[in-house]
């Protein structure tokens, strides 16, 4: 019998607490709709499409939070094998290196270890998701005009987690018997960002061959 992601990845190894949607809100209803579609066995290309009559920003917001939770769960399980010594640089193989930049501590692109990069990334995303000016939760409060640009940056950086995990920690995925589950999460993420053109094609290049194989 196939295991679900929660069974594959131990709860006590999550990188940080999951972000949840408040019951009774439109986002919660959209989240339930998206989860029901996922569990129905529908093709993932179909699952990611905007439901008729729904607001695209709400749909994107729900998925950004959900992907944050799922990718956070995947990396949290790999975290003890991704150390300062094993991964002194946040990279995706020998050809790709990711540098960190933010508006606080690192105003210029900084070369960091993978675990340090991941910690800063998850803190940064968490801060945005919890910011009412960026991800409003109150009824009638509009999304900011640059909302999709913000989500593009979040999703681009989350894609880099997949790059690092697949290229540097694939043996850990295999040893846990989690390949099928990580692949499903990746395919869901990939079809979503392609459906709404949320990540530049150049950013996808490190996993192009694998993507062509599993997302055909």
Domains in the chain (CATH in brackets) are: 5-9+23-83+115-215 (1.20.140.30)
Looking at the chain, the whole-number percentage of residues with pLDDT higher than 90 is 62
Q: Residues annotated as binding site for Zn(2+)?
A: 82, 87, 164, 169
111 has pLDDT over 50: yes
Residue with tokens 């018997």: 177
Which is more confidently placed, 117 or 39?
Answer: 117
Burial class (CB in 10 A: 0-12, 13-18, 19+), 133: exposed
Name the band, by pLDDT with cuts 50, 70 and 90, for residue 36.
Answer: low
Query: Would you call 48 exposed, middle or buried from its count of C-beta atoms within 10 A (0-12, 13-18, 19+)?
Result: buried
- Long-range contacts of range 124-130, CB-CB < 8 Å, 24 or more positions apart? 124/157, 125/68, 125/154, 125/157, 125/158, 126/16, 126/19, 126/68, 128/154, 129/19, 129/64, 129/65, 129/68, 130/19
| Mean local confidence (pLDDT), 168-192 | 91
Residue-wise pLDDT for 80-108, tens only, equals 889 999 999 999 999 999 999 998 899 99
Statement: residue 13 has pLDDT above 50: no
- Averaged pLDDT for residues 121-140: 91
Beta bridge pairs of residue 91: 97
Could you tell me the pLDDT band of residue 30, with boundaries at 50, 70 and 90?
Answer: low
Which amino acids are annotated as binding site, given as ranges? 82, 87, 164, 169
pLDDT surpassing 60 at residue 25? no
């Amino acid at each position: 019998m196939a295991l679900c992601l929660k069974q594959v990845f131990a709860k006590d190894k999550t990188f940080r607490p999951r972000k949840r949607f408040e019951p009774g809100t439109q986002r919660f209803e959209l989240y339930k709709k998206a989860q029901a579609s996922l569990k129905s066995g529908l093709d993932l290309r179909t699952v990611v499409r905007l439901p008729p009559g729904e607001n695209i920003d709400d749909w994107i917001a729900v998925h950004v939070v959900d992907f944050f939770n799922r990718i956070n769960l995947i990396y949290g399980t790999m975290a003890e094998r991704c150390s300062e010594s094993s991964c002194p640089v946040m990279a995706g193989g020998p050809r790709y290196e990711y540098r960190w930049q933010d508006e606080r501590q690192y105003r210029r692109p900084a070369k960091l270890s993978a675990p340090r990069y991941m910690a800063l990334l998850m803190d940064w995303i968490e801060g945005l998701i919890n910011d009412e000016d960026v991800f409003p939760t109150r009824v009638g409060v509009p999304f900011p005009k640059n909302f999709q640009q913000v989500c593009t940056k979040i999703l681009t950086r989350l894609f880099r987690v997949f790059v690092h995990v697949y290229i540097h920690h694939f043996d850990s995925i295999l040893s846990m018997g989690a390949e099928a589950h990580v692949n499903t999460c990746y395919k869901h993420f990939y079809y979503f960002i392609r459906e709404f053109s949320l990540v530049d094609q150049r950013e996808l290049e490190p996993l192009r061959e694998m993507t062509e194989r599993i997302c055909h």
